[in-house]
Amino acid sequence: MKHLKPILILVFVWILAPRAAANDIGYVEKFCLMPDREEALKLLIPGTQDYYFYHALDAQLRGDKAEVQKLLGLWIKRYGRTSRVQEIQNREALLNYKANPNATLAHVRRELGLQYNHSRIVERQKPKHPTALDPKLINFEAFRARAFTSGDLSGVEDRGLELLDHAGLGATRLRHLLSRLKRPDLANLPQLIIKDLRNEHSRGFGSHGIHRNLTIAQMDELLQIDPKLIDNSNFINAYLTKLAPSADVDTRFDLAERGKHLNRHADHPVDKWRNLFADVRSQLDEIEGKKPVLVDKDDRNQKQDQLAGTQASYEFKVEDRQVQLSFQNLKEVTVNYYPMDVELLFSRKPFMKEDTDHFTYLVPNTSDTVKLPVKKTAHTFAIPERFHSSNVMVEIVANGIRKS
């Protein structure tokens, strides 16, 4: 009991901490200082919180325990066990300590949540309770067994995913694993993805974020396992993002950089992709005036394109007294000029533009031979000045081809 007195003093200070800030300081003074406290209590409105609090406090100061319990019952019934009710109950418990110390101490333990259930340490005495945890309850297998109580991997944290036996996961847990992966650094990831894709409930390539985060080497491995992925649009889009050049380069306008990008994939391990890159490279060479190259000897379209690329051909149009000529495999063309009387021609044949073959029986007024630039596919030249103020038909002849 010699240690009980300091504890009770601390508890008493805690319970009777100042609470005047929450009340009207003017009435506190009246309650404390008026000679007749009954007159001070008459100022309170019956049924209010202040009414019950100060009447109960007055009853405690007078030592009327029955009145305190009566007021507390009415107070709790109307407002519940508020903080001010607890204050009166704490005061009452401390005031009753001398008469019933066990009840007071039980009240203090209950209100403060005090527990004295720890064991006393006795030197040289063998402990009666376990001093170490059972390894069987805290090893990896035990934690995994508890985590696998659900059908998926919701019981496993992200950092624990890499510790699992991925090859032994069922379809549902494997799908959950792939949906949670952020980085493609898991061992045998392509095989796990193929296993998931072959499941009847798979939503296909692209259904998991990790599909778009694979490395090029991993995507090539997927193609080696399942070549049909080459026809999957989601796979192609994901693959192309890996092959794209730097964001600082715009290959739409920088043809030289586009060529370098295509050359980097000239030895692509997948035949179909390698041929596609080579085909684009060939088209780029044609734009630069080079001869087309047959990439795939078994591709009929490429054979026809190559054959067409070796034939002489041209097209032209006349705008603003300029002849704009596009051509291939030509060194020179002959340009014939036929002056025309438009009114006479229209009166005889209104749709002369649709039939100009009869001009081949006429001798042109002027014929010029135009040399074409080497390694170019387009050339522009002016109509002779003497025809600027008259109507003239322009005819171009080359390699037996006649166009007007």
Residue 23, in any domain of the structure: yes
Q: Are residues 26 and 55 in the same domain?
A: yes
Q: Are residues 382 and 328 in the same domain?
A: yes
Alpha carbon distance 56, 92 (integer Å): 10
Quote the pTM value: 0.39
pLDDT higher than 60, residue 356: no
Residue 386, in any domain of the structure: yes
CB atoms within 10 A of CB 143: 15
Residue 52, in any domain of the structure: yes
Residue 185, in any domain of the structure: yes
Q: What is the mean pLDDT of the chain?
A: 78
Q: Are residues 40 and 86 in the same domain?
A: yes
Plot region of 124 (φ>0 → left; ψ -120 to 50 → alpha; else → beta): left
pLDDT higher than 50, residue 332: yes
Counting residues of the chain whose pLDDT is more than 90, the rounded percentage is 21
pLDDT of amino acid 90 = 93
Residue 247, in any domain of the structure: no
pLDDT higher than 70, residue 344: no
Domain final residue pick, 178, 209, 224:
224
Going by pLDDT thresholds of 50, 70 and 90, the confidence category of residue 72 is very high
The partner residues of 393 in beta bridges, in order of sequence, read 338
Q: What is the DSSP letter of 246?
A: -
Mean pLDDT of 170-176: 90
Cα angle for residues 275, 277, 282 (degrees, 5° grid): 90
Q: Are residues 333 and 381 in the same domain?
A: yes
Q: Are residues 297 and 351 in the same domain?
A: no
Specify the residue for token string 């390539």: 205
pLDDT higher than 90, residue 91: yes
Q: Which of 41-55, 264-278, 310-324 has the lowest mean pLDDT?
A: 264-278
Higher pLDDT, 125 or 269: 125
Q: Are residues 98 and 172 in the same domain?
A: no
Can you point out the beta strands (E) in 210-276? none
Q: Are residues 27 and 91 in the same domain?
A: yes
Q: Are residues 262 and 317 in the same domain?
A: no
Expressed in angstroms, the distance from the first to the final Cα of the chain is 125
Mean pLDDT of 178-204: 90
Tell me which residue range forms the domain holding 23.
4-112
Residue 136, in any domain of the structure: no
Going by pLDDT thresholds of 50, 70 and 90, the confidence category of residue 18 is very low
Residue 208, in any domain of the structure: yes
Alpha carbon distance 65, 330 (integer Å): 123
Q: Are residues 282 and 346 in the same domain?
A: no
**Domains of the chain: total:** 4
Q: Are residues 104 and 18 in the same domain?
A: yes
- Over residues 234-292, the pLDDT tens digits come to 998 888 788 777 667 776 677 677 667 666 666 666 666 666 766 766 666 666 556 65
Domain final residue pick, 224, 247, 263:
224
Q: Are residues 286 and 333 in the same domain?
A: no
Question: Helix (H, G, I), strand (E, B), or coil: what is residue 78?
Answer: helix
Alpha carbon distance 72, 401 (integer Å): 117
Q: Are residues 194 and 272 in the same domain?
A: no
